[in-house]
Amino acid sequence: MKFKKIFFLIFTVLILSSGYFYFDFYYNKNFYQLNITINTNDTIKKIYNKLNINYNFFDRVFFKFFFDSKKIKAGTFNLNNYYTKNELFKEFTKNSYKIIKIVIPEGFTLKQVKNRLNSNNLIDIKKFEEILKNKKNFYYPTPNQNFEGYFYPDTYYFTKSQSENEIINMFLDNFLKKYPPKNYPDKNKFYNNLILASIIEKEAANDKEKYLISSVFHNRLNINMKLQSCATLAYLFNYQKSNFSKKDLKINSKYNTYYYKGLPPTPISNPGKISFLAAENPKNSNYLYFVLTKDRVHHFSTTYKEHLRYKKGSNF
């Protein structure tokens, strides 16, 4: 009788252990987004440390009986997906790829992002645009499938083996990490702040003055006054023009905030976090005007008369 109980206990432990083992290595998936370099003499435990995974008894069993660790190749691997442990280490048996570092500066437009990716032979622009055109179910607004503003300025690492869709998803996933949907339930309010942030990004000479520039635009919006932002007009010219004629100021476009009141229909760049925070939290002021002067800083004023005085000393 006692022997049967011991046998049953051992049998139960084996069944539970087997279930845990199968689940942990062949079913349970975790998201990994990193570049990992595996050296020739790296042990499995060292690879686990690089992946920030605990190395336990079941892991030792797995590599002892179920996975040939000799097949793991040295090299740098780009991980950006959900993997089981089995799938993860199978990735390391493939040939590694050259990692291409891409820096997206604050204020880059989507067109500039595409051109930078294309110049590094990472995308075909037509395929890229076609995928964006058909991209569905993104959490935040994309009027007319316009994704301007959602390609967050950051440092990215790609391989030439990645598809256009995978690269797009890397950008959009990164954006959602920076701006988690649970923190911004009012999508339209968020989008308006993103639009304003994109304008602030292009107008500001430095981070410090972004909050004051934000206050100017908020003050104008609150009294139904045109924003009259040169940055929105420059967007129409792909930022290839900075001095505008009277004719330019009358261009009938929703992006021309000299012609139309309110915000433009979409962001005009991909803003950084400080610009977004400034859009959300403008400094308290009565300013309605600002101008960039020869000393390369903005001067702010509450009246048009004062603004004209500063403007005389400006570059424009």
Q: What are 1-14's pLDDT values in tens digits?
A: 555 555 445 545 44
Answer whether residue 34 is part of any domain.
yes
Task: From 31, 63, 91, give the residue that closes a domain.
Answer: 91
The structural domain count of the chain equals 2
pLDDT over 70 percentage in the chain: 90
CB neighbour list of residue 258: distance below 8 Å, 6 or more residues apart = 226, 228, 233, 249, 250
Task: From 42, 73, 91, give the residue that closes a domain.
Answer: 91
Distance CA 206, CA 100 (A): 29
- pLDDT at residue 116 above 90? yes
The answer to pTM > 0.85 is no
Answer whether residue 173 is part of any domain.
no
pLDDT for 14 equals 46
308 and 194 in a single domain? The answer is: yes
86 and 196 in a single domain? The answer is: no
Q: What is the mean pLDDT of the chain?
A: 87
Answer whether residue 175 is part of any domain.
no
Distance, first Cα to last Cα, the chain:
97
Distance CA 123, CA 18 (A): 44
pLDDT for 148 equals 98
Task: From 31, 65, 91, give the residue that closes a domain.
Answer: 91
Range of the domain at 302: 186-312
Residue 299, Ramachandran bin (φ over 0: left; ψ between -120 and 50: alpha; else beta): beta
Answer whether residue 5 is part of any domain.
no
199 and 308 in a single domain? The answer is: yes
